[in-house]
């Protein structure tokens, strides 16, 4: 007797739906980077005369120095650095100053 041919059953594979991706943001708002970005936006609002603007309490030179400090710390975090406890305290004082 001759052996019978074995036929492989064709498998029908269901196509998987592509995974739904969440939109990527440039930063997480709960991270130190996100909080510094929000502080930068608050400083910008105070310079322009937005919601947090008070001409009597804000000196323009002090505001510019604060903004440069915040942008330097943002660049530092983006390049792999980290915030020390004293820098966090300084940022917290600025947050309170600019409408915290």
Q: Is residue 3 part of a domain?
A: no
* CA distance linking residue 35 with residue 58, whole number of Å: 21
Whether 57 is covered by a domain: the verdict is yes
The answer to the question of residue 39 being in a domain is: yes
On whether residue 1 sits in a domain, the answer given is no
Containing domain of residue 37, as a range?
32-97
Number of H helices, E strands in the chain: 3, 0
Q: How many whole angstroms separate alpha carbon 73 and alpha carbon 32?
A: 10
Does some domain include residue 75? yes
Q: Convert the pLDDT of each residue in 29-42 to its tens digit.
A: 788 889 999 999 88
The number of folded domains in the chain is 1
Q: What is the pLDDT of residue 45?
A: 80
- Do the domain assignments include residue 89? yes
The per-residue pLDDT for range 60-86, each reduced to its tens digit, is 778 888 889 999 999 999 898 888 999
């Amino acid at each position: 007797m001759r052996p019978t041919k074995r036929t492989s059953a064709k498998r029908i594979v269901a196509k998987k739906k592509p995974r739904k991706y969440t939109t990527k943001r440039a930063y997480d708002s709960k991270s130190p980077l996100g909080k510094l970005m929000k502080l930068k936006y608050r400083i910008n609002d105070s310079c322009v005369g937005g919601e947090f603007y008070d001409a009597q309490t804000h000196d323009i030179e002090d505001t510019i120095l604060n903004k440069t400090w915040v942008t330097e710390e943002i660049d530092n975090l983006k390049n792999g650095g980290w915030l020390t406890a004293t820098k966090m305290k300084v940022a917290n004082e600025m947050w309170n100053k600019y409408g915290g």
